[in-house]
Amino acid sequence: MSTERIATNDLRAHLGRRIDEAHFRGDHLIVEKNGEPRAVLVPYKWWQEKQAAAEPGLTPP
């Protein structure tokens, strides 16, 4: 699976659709500002699974 990248300005214009794509299709999206990665949009279920699998005291990626 390749992870798409999107600029913050483009994300603002399509945020609702991108959230739905993460939720329903499982898409991951790297959010960039001025070409620098700043955040990642991932499905909540994926994030929950990573949290549950993390060792106590550690934060998963």
**Each residue of 11-37: pLDDT tens digit?**
999 999 999 999 999 999 999 999 999
Domains of the chain: 4-49 (3.40.1620.10)
Tokens representing residue 25 in the block: 């299709």
- What are the Cα distances from residue 48, in Å, to 9, 12, 59? 27, 25, 12
Residue 59 has pLDDT above 80, yes or no: no
List CB contacts of 30: < 8 A, sequence separation 6 or more: 3, 4, 5, 6, 37, 39, 40
Is residue 33 a contact partner of residue 7, using CB atoms and an 8 Å limit? yes
Residue 55 has pLDDT above 90, yes or no: no
Model's pTM, two decimal places? 0.78
Given CA atoms 48, 50, 54, 58 in this order, what sign does their dihedral have? negative
